[in-house]
Amino acid sequence: MTVIAEHLRVAQLQRLGLSQALVRLAAGDCVHEVFRGRCLGPPFHVYHGARVPEGPQLVPLWEQDGRACGVWEDDGGLAFVEFSIELPDAFELVARTEQGFWATRFDFLVECEVSGPLLEAAARRVGFRFLERQLDAMDEAGSQVGSFLGHRSWLKELVAGIDRDAHEG
């Protein structure tokens, strides 16, 4: 797999049609404090010797705790992926739209116990339209999201629905 050249990364993110807020975060401009240390580029390890998954050309977004997030184009359109820099071939396709990708990031922020008002402000800042739906779905799921596997299954289903709705709207 190839990684887009570092000096072309921001231009490629723009070419892919990603929001200004996501591009700014990937470039290292912290658009809201809840993203600092969590969803903020530029990535380091991907450009300094870490392996990346096999597949289309990766445009990395950022890294955190040995995990990297990026996006590539394939036959299905955009694919947001996450992988361990130590085990890149075990990558996970996490979303097919930016809105679906934000659902995965806001799920992480909820797990980090970021308060509701901060979540709402951050969602407005990045244009995430499905925060209320996500929080309501989490409340409805209750104990289903209490286990790792249950939570993972719930999140995949939520993201798939958000991806569908984002494509239609």
State residue 86's pLDDT score. Answer: 93
State residue 167's pLDDT score. Answer: 86
**How far is Cα 93 from Cα 8, in angstroms, rounded to an integer?**
23
pLDDT tier at 169, thresholds 50, 70, 90 = low
State residue 141's pLDDT score. Answer: 85
Span 12-31, mean pLDDT? 98
Structure-block tokens of residue 69: 């997030």
Residue 121: its H or E element? helix 116-126
Question: Which has the closest alpha carbon to 109: 92, 126, 97?
Answer: 126
Q: Which residue has the tokens 């097919």?
A: 96
pLDDT-above-90 percentage for the chain:
86
State residue 78's pLDDT score. Answer: 97
Q: Got the DSSP string for 63-84? A: EETTEEEEEEEETTEEEEEEEE
Q: With 80 as the cut, is the pLDDT of residue 111 above it? A: yes
Question: How far, CA to CA in Å, does 144 sit from each of 133, 148, 152, 155, 160?
Answer: 17, 9, 10, 11, 17
State residue 1's pLDDT score. Answer: 57
Residue 20's contacts (CB-CB under 8 Å, 6 or more residues apart) are none
Compute the mean pLDDT over every residue in the chain, rounded to the nearest whole number: 94
Question: How far, CA to CA in Å, does 42 sit from each of 20, 35, 36, 62, 105?
Answer: 15, 13, 12, 5, 17
State residue 77's pLDDT score. Answer: 94
CB 22 within 8 A of CB 126: yes
Q: With 90 as the cut, is the pLDDT of residue 76 above it? A: no
Output the pTM of the full model.
0.95
Span 59-79, mean pLDDT? 95
Per-residue pLDDT tens over the stretch 133-146: 999 999 888 767 77
